[in-house]
Structure 1
Amino acid sequence: MDRHEISALAHADHPIAAPVSEATVGRLLGRAIRRPDAHLLDLGCGAGTWLLRALQAHPEVTAVGVDLSDAGFGRTRAAVAEFGAEDRLELSRQDVTEFRPARKADVVLSGAAYAFGELLPALDAAQEHLAENGMVLLGDCFWESEPEPAFRAEMEDGPQKYADLPATIAAIVGHGWTPVYGHVSTLEEWDEYEWCWTGSLAQWALDHPDHPDHEQALKTSAGHRDGWLNGSRGVLGFVSLLLRRTNP
């Protein structure tokens, strides 16, 4: 079972795939979509759930989602078809770093900075696809409090490094962007997300005791739960930002 399959199972009960509530998603999208016929692009869209929410709430919006995995695409397409919006959504399995859209987007969603290596390169990529006076809806982690060295090393075992919230915002502003709205995920949002993540995966494993990936799923769930309760809870934060270019 690869990480895409694990992620699809773990997000079965929390399809947003981020520690934010449905109410927060609606509020962020409502502020980002400033014209009824806005065009959205989600770089690293996962199953396309954010775009599904946008299409449900805004009947003239069109959207394109791109992800390296198409796990969940079928479920999202079926949900969109239920309210007759299949002609307003395009989902593409592709490396986001190689994606070249046919048109610029009024809103670019970017919640997978790791796909571009770091946060600021992810913003550069978003800018390439952004229409004039467009907005980026960015989601990323930061250090809510100082992590234990071992946990920091585990989380930063790659090109992306995290900072505290003031330093994260300062880096974004220094790179030419102005935050026009933001939301810091609450502990309640984090707990709901993590209980769903670990619980959904464990539930699947317990429901499929004869599946060859049964043990792997249980072990992954338990390991993630332990890392959350003993490492990231109250330490790792998540911020969602609406950003515009300071000098368009």
Structure 2
Amino acid sequence: MTFSRFVALGDSFTEGVGDPDNTRPNGVRGWADRVAEVLKGDDFAYANLAIRGRKLLQIVAEQIDPAIAMQPDLVTIYAGANDVLRPRVDIDRLMQSYDHAIGRLTETGARVVMFTAYDPGDAPVFGALRGRFAIYNELVREVADRHGTTLVDFWRLGDYRDDRLWDVDRMHMSSAGHQRMAIAVLDTLGIEHDLRPLELTERPVLTGRDRRAANVEWVKAYAAPWVKRRLTGTSSGDNLSPRWPALAPVTAG
């Protein structure tokens, strides 16, 4: 299986947040870049329109038409997690828009890859929203089935129970997590590759006091600013542009 035009759509998950690389736009790499580096060839081009903080309706409004105009033969899209995290959300209404957008993408003849969201059941803060995410994921699976898309079931990837696959902000995948996701995408597509999981550092031995101190620091550094953005209607991606806004050859990797 070969692809010549790959377009990645979505939010921070697809933009690559948590996988730092100061040599790339927005200072991140991410699983989509890693997949593109495997797929690259003489006639291959890649675009990534994802921007951190984008909600589902924004992704549909801003990214679907430009993606279709590029006439891709492979599209990946992840949308909705930022909506589910809001205090109030009409998941059924959102998924109607998502269903229509996925239909437009599949009508182009492109191979479309969708994702469920991660299971937050073990998370001390986000675990309270596990039921919401389960409903969202089931509706994503229905949309995928309806349109015959390829589904990467993040919910069932047990590797991510290991906190070393998550960034220090506990919201985004680490470099090891993005590498693991690239492997999952390629495996689900049935594409041969030589990617391997990144070597993980040793787990630090923490006392109960250490863990409490780390949790307090996390709240100050990451959770509180995240809540403030939700209350003020701002986003970490407000002043950012897509990392790779137009199809171009892949040179890194």
TM-score by length of 2: 0.41
Query: Larger % of strand: which?
Result: 1
